Structure 1
Amino acid sequence: MTGAGAINDLQRLTVSLRGGCERRSDCLLFHFTGQLDAYSDKQFNEFVGAQRTGAALPVVIDLSRIDFIDSSGLGALVQLAKQCTTDGTGFVVVGNARVVQTVKLVRLEAFLHLQPDLPTALASLATA
């Protein structure tokens, strides 16, 4: 289910966060691993922003391999969701149990369009 430009190696964004982007015909698929927190939210925003430049495609943020997310990481996701809404592009977040628990704790699951896995997230974009 991978398209052209599949991610083999993730870029080191900070000591604790790695990320990659796959440009697909139907979306920009971002993969992250490590920690999305106060020490990495700026680099997360810069990386996603740079990849989105000139691409009016829906955004899928795959956080299924994230070990930890804090309020700064949630803030970065909210900011990105708002940008996508303003741009009129779709936005979906895939989370593991830790991410889901944190997002649900602050009741952002609907706003972030939280999905349990990547196939469900991609399917939700197709029906949006």
Structure 2
Amino acid sequence: MSLTSTVTESAQIVTVDGPRIDAAMAIQFKEEMREQTVDGHSRVILDLSRVDFIDSSGLGAIVAAMKQLGDHRQLDLAGLTPTVEKVFRLTRMDTIFQLFPSLDDAISARAG
């Protein structure tokens, strides 16, 4: 798993380039998110469109990434596959994060 990052006028987009965020990947994910987002944009969109599995360690890693951003920066999630979205809704994490069906939806939510 690796992360790629691009910056637009409205946000920094971090894409997860792998199918899983689980216990085996959680520490690596947190470290890469920190590296990618240090001193970055005030809004970060995490593109999860390539992720088809997440476990509790993966959820914890995403929460940790949100906390690393601090109080004045926002982490939104985009492109959740049905399986991943179900995990977020069952664990009520959808009340913590703003979930967008696609990356385009996430980008246009702030632009419009």
Give your verdict on TM over 0.5: yes
TM score, norm. by length of structure 2: 0.87
Which of 54, 77, 97 pairs up with 2:39? 54
Shift of 1:122: 1.2
Please list, as runs of the form range in 1=range in 2, the aligned pairs for 1:16-55 lying within 5 A after superposition. 17-32=1-16, 33-55=18-40
TM score, norm. by length of structure 1: 0.77
SS in 2 for 1:30: strand
Higher Rg: 1
Return 5+ residue gaps in structure 2 as ranges: none
Return 5+ residue gaps in structure 1 as ranges: 1-16
More helix by share: 2
Q: Structure 1 vs Structure 2: percent identity of aligned residues?
A: 30
Which of 61, 70, 88 pairs up with 2:72? 88
Give me the CA root mean square deviation: 1.6
Amino acid at match of 1:49: R
In 1: Cα distance, 2:72 partner to 2:37 partner: 13
In 2: Cα distance, 1:21 partner to 1:45 partner: 14
The alignment of Structure 1 onto Structure 2 pairs a total of residues equal to 110
